Amino acid sequence: MNTEKNTYEIYYDKEGDFLEVSFEEPAKEGTTEEIESGIFITKDIETGRVTDIGILDFKKRVDILARILIKYNLNLPLRIDISD
């Protein structure tokens, strides 16, 4: 049985409508790439793992987060509610 616990950091800037999700500690050396307009991923150069996802205009594109999580085989155990 896998007893490893993951820690996630989630930051949302309501005024800028920007969501950032961090999946682990920041990499000693990382690289950030805009994979689509307004969607950024940061990878650890040494391991190639995705450490962060950033999404501009998040309220208009909530569904994109689920697609990115699947694409990069990441898990985020929560439901996001953006209602006011």
In the predicted structure, residue 79 carries a pLDDT above the cut 70: no
What is the pTM assigned to this prediction?
Answer: 0.80
In the predicted structure, residue 15 carries a pLDDT above the cut 80: yes
Span 39-78, pLDDT tens digits: 999 999 999 999 999 999 999 988 898 899 889 888 876 6
What percent of the chain has a predicted confidence (pLDDT) above 70?
A: 83
In the predicted structure, residue 6 carries a pLDDT above the cut 50: yes
Q: Are 21 and 40 in contact (CB under 8 A)?
A: no
Beta bridge partners of 23: none
Name the helix (H) or strand (E) containing 52.
strand 50-56
23 vs 37, more confident: 37
Token look-up 């989630």 returns: 10
